[in-house]
A and B are shown apart, each in its own frame.
Chain A
Amino acid sequence: MILDLITLALIICIFSFLFKDNPFFKFTERLLVGVSAGYGFLIIIRDGFLAKFVDPLRTGDLSVIIPGLLGLMFVFTLFRRTAFLAKYPLAFLLGTGAGMEIGPRIETSIIKQISAMGSHVSGPVEIINRTVLFISALSSLYYFLFAVRKNTKFDRFFAGTGIVFMMIAFGATFGYTVMSRISLLIDIIDSVVLRFF
């Protein structure tokens, strides 16, 4: 009950911003940032530093020393004279990240998407859908080819088609965004406000 009351009070403080900016809103905003940062820090210490570095060291697993030291080198960024040392672990991160990412990402987001355009076609409706999808992808991409476009009638028409498709996409995204935000309000009213009134 006390926790519910605190929740309700904090919600009212946040919602008070809708009227105008005020100290109650500012206090709650800072509280949220502080609690989130504190929680995140503790989780990283518990599940990261202790579980992945200290615990293995305690059990005699020395393989964590080099990655552990590389991780600790990030602390050097705090001091201007030694900040350059933090670039070495960063280089490892960027190198391994790029190596891991490039191949599978291209396959997932480009190759599989392109190959799916020609497969699973199962009737006239599907053929129309694929054609619209193909034209929308092509015309939207064409709109951004500023160096290639020569401002001919065809250029204007095809780039204009791209704009129409993009506007439809933005409209759909806006609709979904409204739904998302209203869902948050519904949850607050349903699970907190209506419990008290």
Chain B
Amino acid sequence: MKIKRQYIYAVLFISVVIPLATGLTFKVRPGPPVKKFYSAVNGLNEGDYAAVTLSYDPSTKAELNPMVIALCGHLFSRDVKIIMMNPLNNSIGNLGYELITRAASLYGKKENDDYYFLGYVPGEKSALQNMGEDFYSVYSKTFMKAELKDLPLYRDIKTIADAKMLIDISDGNSTVDLLTYVNTKYGVPMAAGTTAIMAGEYYTYLNSGQLLGMLGGLRGAAEYETMLGVNGKGRRGMAAQTFAHILVLLLVLAGNIEYFSGRRK
């Protein structure tokens, strides 16, 4: 039997729309990687600096934006100062700035005092390397072109090693680059949030202790939101995610039954 692919897409669409339209939610139980991530961020104290690197394209914002929003809220609620930047991806600047500005307004935080958005700088790996020698040889201005030497950051941070933690939110291999050039070389503790596709690869770094914690895909974001007690996009999407997964499972099962019964004939 052959099912037209258009029917499969239509059923998939319905299976996602119904839970979202009805506001159906499921209980999400946080797993060990997310618990570790939460504990690592919770270990930061008031006034500490956390560097957050955004290394993803807008095409993966569905999975990663909920993480960034939850993370900013978590850091701001603990009065941790954020240095947000995107040195390994030049397309996320405006979106990243919008996200942190929105989160800051909810917690009454001031730009260029409680948080800094530095944007993109060319150089990629050599830029990361130089951040460990002299941070301001890489970044001299913020994303909105404020001179860094006039800001409190200049007094507190000389190199990236002065940050208490580095968190990379990525959709590619950037976490390994940051582990190589920042964690291994300058000893900055690291955690990561990543798309579901990349999560499998990063488990090795989590198990070895090189990553303190990890958020994997929309589920990771939903688990993190659960730990923070926030009802964000991650948690809202989990019911739709579950329905769609059940559908895919059924289709895989049906495909296999069809294949094996065909072989027997």
CB neighbours (8 Å) of B59 from chain A are 184
Contact partner of A189 (CB less than 8 A), chosen from B20, B125, B208, B217, is: B20
Contact partner of B179 (CB less than 8 A), chosen from A40, A48, A97, A108, is: A108
> Is B40 among interface residues, defined by CB-CB distance under 8 A?
no
CB neighbours (8 Å) of A52 from chain B are 121-122
- Which one, B41-49, B157-165, B238-246, is touching chain A? B238-246
In contact, B120 and A113 (Cβ under 8 angstroms) = no
> Is A78 among interface residues, defined by CB-CB distance under 8 A?
no
> Is A145 among interface residues, defined by CB-CB distance under 8 A?
no
In contact, B248 and A178 (Cβ under 8 angstroms) = yes
CB neighbours (8 Å) of B121 from chain A are 47, 51-52
In contact, A180 and B209 (Cβ under 8 angstroms) = no
- Which one, B28-36, B100-108, B193-201, is touching chain A? B193-201
> Is B3 among interface residues, defined by CB-CB distance under 8 A?
no
Of the four ranges (under 10, 10 to 19, 20 to 34, 35 or more), the interface on chain B belongs to: 35 or more
Q: Do A183 and B209 contact each other (CB < 8 Å), given the known contacts A40-B90, A108-B176, A190-B20? A: no
* A100 CA to B208 CA, complexed, in Å: 23
- Which one, B71-79, B148-156, B180-188, B257-265, is touching chain A? B180-188
| Smallest CB gap from A41: residue in B | B90
- Which one, A22-30, A80-88, A149-157, A168-176, is touching chain B? A168-176
In contact, A109 and B176 (Cβ under 8 angstroms) = yes
CB neighbours (8 Å) of B233 from chain A are 187, 190
* A39 CA to B248 CA, complexed, in Å: 36
CB neighbours (8 Å) of A96 from chain B are 126
In contact, B200 and A104 (Cβ under 8 angstroms) = no
| Smallest CB gap from B179: residue in A | A108
> Is A188 among interface residues, defined by CB-CB distance under 8 A?
yes
Mask: chain A, 96-121; 1 = CB below 8 Å from B; 0 = not? 11001100110111001100100110
In contact, A48 and B122 (Cβ under 8 angstroms) = yes
* A193 CA to B240 CA, complexed, in Å: 14
Contact partner of A180 (CB less than 8 A), chosen from B13, B20, B63, is: B63
CB neighbours (8 Å) of B17 from chain A are 189, 193-194
| Smallest CB gap from B239: residue in A | A186
CB neighbours (8 Å) of B179 from chain A are 108
**Residues of chain A at the chain B interface (Cβ within 8 Å):** 18-19, 36, 39-40, 43-44, 47-48, 51-52, 96-97, 100-101, 104-105, 107-109, 112-113, 116, 119-120, 133, 169, 172-173, 176-180, 182-190, 193-194
Q: Given contacts A176-B199, A180-B195, could you give 20 more A-B pairs where the C-beta distance is less than 8 Å?
A: A40-B90, A43-B90, A47-B90, A47-B121, A104-B181, A112-B210, A176-B216, A177-B197, A179-B218, A179-B219, A180-B63, A183-B196, A183-B237, A184-B60, A185-B12, A187-B237, A189-B16, A189-B240, A193-B17, A194-B17
Q: What would be 30 A-B contacts, judged by CB atoms less than 8 Å apart?
A: A43-B90, A47-B90, A47-B119, A47-B120, A51-B141, A100-B125, A100-B129, A104-B184, A108-B176, A108-B180, A108-B210, A112-B208, A120-B209, A176-B196, A176-B200, A178-B248, A179-B219, A180-B195, A180-B196, A183-B62, A183-B217, A184-B62, A185-B16, A186-B16, A186-B20, A187-B63, A187-B233, A188-B62, A189-B13, A190-B237
